[in-house]
């Protein structure tokens, strides 16, 4: 099962392989532009031609153009092109198994990209370093590189790059056996790729989800996603990816006991792989198809397919596939009673297993060690987060206390203001009443004064009348006296 997952993940890491004619035509088109191109454009063209030769597995030509880009970019101080060229040389070295040189070139590219603050370039170099560490079983370091790359991809808002890094993070979690996080990152990558018009990469996300569900034995879900990937790969003309989808669906159908569907899908995969020369995929499909016939007790067909797998694996020195082919032939000859051939293949199988077991054990020890380191780092992060949460909670409580205190003060001030206002209004009303009462008193006083004046005026008038009468009486008396006299 692990081998199957590794085979399928290969498509995710490398991306879909288009037909060689497509890349060849691209190389020819770019080469025609070189004569009229400016120096910076030449660097870009050299880099792109190098990348196309890598996709065609033409390592010599790929290195030739990467070195041309390196030399010219360094001469004209074209930093961005220089960093891309270093990354391309690193990728070629990685493909040749020269991991020390690959790491050195990736770091040179990273240094240049950092000097010009090129987030996309920084992310690309970190992603390459992550792939290198993952390949070497250093999962903790790989995850660290990928998470840093993801941060830079998000800063540059490069959705395609974000999805690639997320898928690579999912691979690390797959290596660590953390299915929950593996699925989470695969789904995140899928959602991003749904927003990008690129069926090849969207198919890769569907395929990778199928891998995860296959690894946990959820065959229905695995088939669901494999079929989505198959449809998109048919649409995009991705032959190698299409063969992988048929192969993966066949594995699920076989495990579900649907042998006729599995046989049909294996046949489709082999037909495509033979046409495009996909030897690695072909040797694995031969072995798995042979196992299907072994389960059906059709030993003649199973032996035929196992021998084909043996021949391809031996020619290309695919030791892991070669070991599986010898093991399958040993089991088949043993059950059919051909003990001579069974012994021969058992000896070959044992020798290969012993030669590979040390490597596998070393990788497993490294995985366990990295898992321990990863768990330890996660625990440190958990403790740090708990401290941060405690500080945040304390700050939150302080804020709540401050808010409560301010609220109380405001409430007291509000109540105090209310009483002051009420007192002011009452005083204002009292002043109005006093003013009114004073005015009333003044009015009453005025009325009294007016009455008094009227009385005095009446008295004075009466006195005048009386004086007048007295005067008249005296006049009459005098007049009468004069008459008498």
Does 344 score more than 70 pLDDT?
yes
Q: What span, in angstroms and rounded, lies between the C-alpha atoms of 62 and 57?
A: 8
Task: Read off the pLDDT band of 97 (50, 70, 90).
Answer: confident
Residue 33, both tokens: 């532009």
Task: Read off the pLDDT band of 169 (50, 70, 90).
Answer: very high
From residue 245, alpha-carbon distances to 122, 313, 339 in Å are 33, 21, 37
Q: Which has more pLDDT, 277 or 141? A: 141
Q: Which has more pLDDT, 433 or 125? A: 125
pLDDT reported for residue 317:
79
Environment class of residue 385 by beta-carbon count within 10 Å: exposed (0-12), middle (13-18) or buried (19+)?
exposed
Q: What span, in angstroms and rounded, lies between the C-alpha atoms of 1 and 9?
A: 12
pLDDT reported for residue 37:
92
Q: What span, in angstroms and rounded, lies between the C-alpha atoms of 149 and 377?
A: 19
Environment class of residue 373 by beta-carbon count within 10 Å: exposed (0-12), middle (13-18) or buried (19+)?
middle
Selection from 6, 284, 2 nearest residue 135 by Cα: 6
Q: Which has more pLDDT, 442 or 305? A: 305
Backbone angles phi, psi at 78, to 5 degrees: -95, 85
Which residues lie below 8 Å from residue 481, measured CB to CB, with a gap of 6+?
none
Task: Read off the pLDDT band of 477 (50, 70, 90).
Answer: low
Does 219 score more than 50 pLDDT?
yes
pLDDT reported for residue 260:
94
Could you report the per-residue pLDDT of 110-132, keeping only the tens digit for each?
A: 999 999 999 999 999 999 999 99
Q: What span, in angstroms and rounded, lies between the C-alpha atoms of 163 and 429?
A: 77
Could you report the per-residue pLDDT of 226-241, keeping only the tens digit for each?
A: 999 999 999 888 888 8
pLDDT reported for residue 307:
93
Selection from 147, 69, 143 nearest residue 112 by Cα: 69
> What percent of the chain has pLDDT above 70?
80
pLDDT reported for residue 479:
54
From residue 468, alpha-carbon distances to 118, 441, 460, 472 in Å are 128, 39, 12, 6
Least confident of 315-319, 336-340, 434-438, 461-465: 461-465
Could you report the per-residue pLDDT of 51-83, keeping only the tens digit for each?
A: 988 888 788 999 999 999 999 999 999 999 999
pLDDT reported for residue 58:
87
> What percent of the chain has pLDDT above 90?
49
Backbone angles phi, psi at 384, to 5 degrees: -60, -40
Q: Where are the alpha helices (DSSP H) in 277-338?
A: 279-295, 299-316, 319-336
pTM of the model: 0.62
């Amino acid at each position: 099962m692990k081998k199957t997952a590794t085979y399928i993940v290969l498509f995710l890491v490398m991306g879909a392989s288009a037909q060689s004619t497509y890349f060849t035509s691209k190389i020819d088109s770019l080469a025609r532009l070189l004569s009229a191109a400016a120096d910076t454009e030449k660097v870009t063209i050299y880099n792109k031609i190098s990348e196309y030769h890598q996709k065609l597995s033409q390592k010599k030509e790929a290195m030739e153009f990467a070195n041309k880009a390196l030399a010219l970019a360094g001469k004209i101080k074209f930093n961005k092109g220089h960093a891309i060229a270093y990354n391309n040389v690193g990728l070629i070295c990685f493909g040749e198994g020269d991991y020390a040189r690959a790491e050195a070139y990736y770091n040179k590219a990273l240094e240049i990209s950092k000097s010009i603050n090129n987030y996309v370039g920084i992310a690309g170099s970190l992603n390459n370093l992550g792939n290198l560490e993952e390949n070497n079983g250093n999962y903790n370091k790989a995850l660290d590189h990928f998470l840093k790359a993801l941060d830079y991809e998000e800063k540059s808002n490069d959705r395609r790059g974000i999805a690639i890094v997320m898928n690579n993070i999912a691979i690390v979690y797959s290596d660590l056996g953390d299915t929950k996080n593996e699925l989470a990152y695969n789904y995140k990558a899928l959602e991003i790729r749904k927003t990008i018009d690129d069926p090849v990469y969207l198919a890769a996300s569907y395929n990778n989800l199928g891998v995860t569900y296959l690894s946990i034995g959820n065959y229905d879900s695995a088939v669901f996603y494999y079929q989505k990937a198959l449809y998109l790969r048919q649409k995009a003309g991705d032959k190698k990816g299409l063969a992988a989808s048929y192969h993966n669906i066949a594995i699920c159908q076989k495990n579900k006991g649907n042998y006729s569907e599995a046989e049909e899908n294996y046949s489709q995969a082999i037909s495509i792989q033979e046409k495009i020369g996909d030897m690695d995929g072909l040797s694995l499909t031969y072995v798995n198809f042979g196992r299907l016939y072994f389960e059906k007790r059709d030993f003649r067909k199973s032996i035929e397919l196992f021998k084909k797998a043996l021949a391809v694996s031996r020619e290309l020195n695919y030791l892991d596939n070669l070991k599986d082919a010898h093991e399958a032939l040993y089991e088949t000859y043993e059950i059919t009673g051909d003990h001579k051939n069974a012994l021969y293949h058992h000896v070959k199988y044992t020798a290969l297993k012993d030669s590979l077991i040390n490597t596998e054990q070393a990788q497993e020890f490294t995985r366990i060690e990295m898992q321990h380191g990863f768990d330890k780092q996660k625990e440190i992060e958990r403790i740090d987060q708990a401290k941060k949460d405690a500080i945040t909670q304390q700050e939150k409580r302080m804020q709540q206390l401050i808010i409560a205190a301010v609220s109380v003060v405001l409430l007291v001030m509000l109540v105090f203001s209310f009483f002051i206002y009420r007192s002011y209004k009452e005083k204002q009303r009292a002043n109005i009443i006093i003013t009114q009462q004073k005015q009333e008193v003044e009015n009453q006083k005025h009325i009294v004064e007016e009455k008094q004046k009227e009385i005095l005026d009446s008295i004075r008038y009466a006195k005048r009348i009386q004086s007048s009468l007295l005067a008249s009486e005296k006049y009459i008396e005098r007049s009468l006296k004069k008459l008498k006299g």
